[in-house]
């Protein structure tokens, strides 16, 4: 895992895919990020990131069923893989390790 490095946005998208579970597709992710993080991101950036994550084996995709919305186009549904889950966990753990190393003094003054 140490060889793989995830960018900040990649990590964010990966986390959102994990959150949305079976309903993660391009637009949903954009909306979710907007909603939860109050952050505008471009659809194309999300798509590119999703494909990159898929290449790394952190998520997988399948085409969803046909609907009448979206001009009849199917969604590409992304789900997080075990590797993706492990990646998120490792990253969270290492952050926590680092977090613990920050001198806690500052909090005293608060």
Of 13, 11, 30, the residue nearest 89 (C-alpha): 11
C-beta of 27 vs 94, nearer to other proteins: 27
Distance of alpha carbon 89 from alpha carbon 99, whole angstroms: 15
C-beta of 9 vs 90, nearer to other proteins: 9
Q: How many CB atoms sit inside 10 A of residue 32's CB?
A: 19
Q: Looking at residues 31 to 90 of the shown chain, list those that interact with other proteins (rule: CB under 8 A).
A: 42-45, 47-48, 51-52, 63, 69-71, 73-76
Interacting residue ranges for other proteins, rule: CB under 8 A: 25-27, 30, 42-45, 47-48, 51-52, 63, 69-71, 73-76
């Amino acid at each position: 895992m140490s060889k793989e490095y995830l960018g900040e946005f990649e990590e964010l998208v990966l986390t959102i895919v994990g959150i949305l579970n079976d309903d993660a597709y391009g637009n949903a992710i954009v909306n979710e990020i907007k909603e939860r993080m109050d952050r505008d991101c471009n659809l194309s950036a999300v798509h590119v990131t999703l494909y990159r994550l898929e290449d790394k084996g952190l998520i997988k995709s399948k085409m969803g069923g046909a609907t009448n919305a979206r001009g009849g186009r199917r969604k590409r549904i992304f789900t997080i893989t075990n590797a993706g889950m492990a990646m998120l966990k490792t990253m969270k753990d290492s952050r926590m390790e680092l977090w613990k190393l920050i001198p806690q003094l500052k909090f005293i003054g608060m």
